[in-house]
Amino acid sequence: MRDRPSTADPFVPRPSACPGLLRIVQALDGGICRVKLAGGLLSSKQARAIAEAAEHCASGVLELTNRSNLQIRGVLAGQQAELIERLLAANLGPSNPAADDVRNLLLSPAAGLDPHALLDTRPLAAALLELLQNTPALHGLSAKFAIQLDGGEALAMLEHPHDIWLSALPGTPAQLAFGLAGCPTDRPLGAIRVEQAAELIEQLLLLFLKLAGSAHSRMRQLLSEIAPNQLLQQLQARLPFAIQPVPTAWQRQSTSQHAAIGIYPQQQAGLCMVAASARLGRIDALQLHALANLAEQYCDASLCLTPWQGVLLPNILEHSTDKLLHALGELGLLTDTQEPLSKLIACTGSAACGKGLSDSKADALRLAERLCTSTARPQVHLSACPRSCAAAHTAPFTLLASSAGHYQLYQRMPEVAGFGQLLASTMTIDEAGDWFAAHCATGNNDA
C-alpha cells in the first residue's frame, strides 16, 4: 500500500496557472481543482467521494476534460483544505505530492478491452506512472507535458498532439513505435520492445529536461531548436539497447474521431462497453452519484472517463447494454450521435473565465437548438478567446468569439495552420446555425 500524502505535509505546490489536486486555481465562478485519474479510471466509491466533496466544498459542477481527467469547479473560499483532504482520503492524489502535475498519461478508455487492440497497455501505463511519480528529477516537467500510450484500440483519441507518443506495432515480440510532439498517426522516430519502454521514457524525459533547461516546457518548442534525428542520436547514446527503425509500410490507422457514444463490443466474450458524453463536458454532483450507482448495478463498480469528455462503463453483459444506455440518457448524458450537442465542444466562456469574450457554453446550446431543425451535424468548437482551452486539436469548424454573441468562423484545412481558413469574420450564433444548415447537409459534416 503506498503512502498517502496528507495536507499536514509541508508541501506547497509550485506556481502555475494549471489547476491540480493540491493547487486550486481561481476563476470567476470560484476555485478549480483538477483530479488526475490513472487511465481515466474511477471506482464508484471514488466517484461518490468526488460528488460529495463537490457538493460540500464547491458548487457541485464537474467538468470532464479532454485528457480523461475531472475538474471540480466553484470551490468555495475557506473550503479548499477540506476538499483536498477528502480527495486524498479517497486515494485520488499522487503517490508523491510533488508529482501531481506530472501524471499526464493518456490511454484509450478501452485499454485492455478493445477487440482491435494489439497490446494491453495497462501494465506499462502503471509502470510509467510509477516512474513519473517516484523519480524526483522528473518533477520539473511542465504540468502540461503529456505522454500518450496507444495500444492500437479502435476507440482511441488520435487527434490530440502529445509531447511523446507510443503506439503498439503488430507482430511479435511486442513492440512500440514512438514519436515526439505529435500523434500516433504521424511518422514515428523509431521502435523499441515493450519491456524497454519505461527506460526509453525515463532517458528521453531526462534528456528533454537537460536540453530544454528553463527556456522550453514543451517538446515542440525544443524541436524548433534541435532536429528530431539529433535528439534521437543523443537519446540512443543513453540507452543500453538499440532503437529500431519502424517498417516504412506501418501507419497507425486513424479511427472515427466522433465522441464515443453507444455500445461497443469487448474482446471478452459476452461483455460490452457502454459510453455516453457529458453535455459540453459538464455534469453535476447528482449525476456523478447516479453514475456510481449504475456502475455498481451494471458492471464491476468502475467508470472510465473518455478524452471526448464523456464516460464509459466497461464489462456490461450484452443483454443489459440497451437498458444501461437508456439509463445514461435518462441521467441527461448524450447517448445519440444524432443529437447536435454531441458534436459541439465549448470552453468555459465569459460566464466563468475572465478572458472570455462571449458565453461560449450558452452560445453552443443555442447553436445546438438551431441545428435541430436541420440535418446538419457539424463538429464545431466554440472558443471564447484564442487560447482554445476546450480543444487540444483543431476541430473541423471553429467559432472564435470576437465579442459577446459574435464569432469568426474557421474551417480546418490541412495546409492552413491554427484554426484553418477564415470563412466569415463575424457571425451571430443564429447566422452560424443557418450557415451550417446550408453547407453541412448530412454526409458533409466533417469538412
How would you classify residue 270: left for phi > 0, otherwise alpha for psi between -120 and 50, otherwise beta? Answer: left
Question: In angstroms, rounded to a whole number, what is the distance separating the alpha carbons of residues 307 and 259?
Answer: 8
For ligand SF4, the closer CB: 2 or 387: 387
Q: How far is the CB of 357 from ligand SF4 (least distance, A)?
A: 7
Q: Which is nearer to ligand SF4, 46 or 383 (CB)?
A: 383
Q: Which is nearer to ligand SF4, 348 or 411 (CB)?
A: 348
72 near 84, Cβ under 8 Å?
no
Determine the 3-state secondary structure of 335 from DSSP.
coil
* 108 phi-psi bin (left φ>0, alpha ψ -120 to 50, beta other): beta
CB 252 within 8 A of CB 184: yes
Residue from 400, 383, 113 nearest 260 by CA = 113
Least distance between ligand SF4 and beta carbon 382 (Å): 9
Of residues 212 and 353, the one with the C-beta less far from ligand SF4:
353
Cβ closest to ligand SF4, residue 301 vs residue 385 = 385
The whole-angstrom separation of Cα 107 and Cα 289 is 25
Region binding ligand SF4 by CB under 6 A among candidate stretches 68-76, 304-312, 315-323, 343-351: 343-351
As a whole number of Å, the end-to-end CA separation of the chain is 50
* Closer of 187 and 387 to ligand SF4 (Cβ): 387
Quick count: other Cβ atoms within 10 Å of Cβ 16? 13
Interface segment toward ligand SF4; rule CB under 6 A; list 117-125, 148-156, 342-350, 433-441: 342-350
Number of residues that bind ligand SF4 (CB under 6 A): 12
In whole angstroms, the minimum distance from the beta carbon of 352 to ligand SF4 comes to 8
Residue 353 C-beta: closest distance to ligand SF4, Å: 3
* Interaction residues for ligand SF4, span 347-406 (CB under 6 A): 347-349, 353, 355-356, 383-385, 387-389
In degrees, rounded to 5, the angle at the alpha carbon of residue 16 between the alpha carbons of residues 14 and 21 is 75
344-346 and 380-383: which strand pairing? parallel
Contact in structure between 144 and 187 (CB atoms under 8 Å):
no
Determine the interface stretch with ligand SF4 among 141-149, 158-166, 311-319, 345-353 (rule: CB under 6 A).
345-353
Instruction: Name the minimum Å distance from CB 42 to ligand SF4.
Output: 24
Q: What gap in Å lies between CA 108 and CA 196, rounded to an integer?
A: 21
Smallest distance from ligand SF4 to CB 51, Å: 24
Length of the chain: 447
Least CB distance to ligand SF4 at residue 259 (A):
20
Strand partners, 334: 277
**Residues 220-259, interacting with ligand SF4 (CB under 6 A):** none
Question: In whole angstroms, how close is the CB of 331 to ligand SF4 at the nearest point?
Answer: 26
Q: For the CB of residue 212, give the shortest distance to ligand SF4 in the complex, in Å.
A: 25
Query: From residue 295 to residue 334, what is the string marking binding to ligand SF4 with x (rule CB under 6 A)?
Result: ----------------------------------------
Enter the C-alpha cell of residue 95: 503517490
Q: Please, which residue, 202 or 359, has the CB nearer to ligand SF4?
A: 359
- What's the min distance (Å) between Cβ of 350 and ligand SF4? 7
Of 137-145, 207-215, 341-349, 363-371: span binding ligand SF4 (CB under 6 A): 341-349
Cβ nearer to ligand SF4, comparing 20 with 349: 349
Half-sphere exposure of residue 11: CA atoms within 13 angstroms, side-chain side: 17
In sequence order, the 6+-apart residues with CB closer than 8 A to the CB of 168 are 117, 118, 119, 121, 150, 151, 152, 174, 175, 176, 177
Look at residue 234 and give its three-state secondary structure: helix
Nearer to ligand SF4, 376 or 399 (CB): 399
Map 121-135 to HEC letters.
CHHHHHHHHHHHHHC
Cis amide linkage into residue 173, ω under 30° from 0: yes
Taking the least distance from each CB to ligand SF4, the nearer of 211 and 389 is: 389
Interface residues for ligand SF4 in 268-297 (CB under 6 A)? none
Residues that bind ligand SF4 (CB under 6 A): 347-349, 353, 355-356, 383-385, 387-389
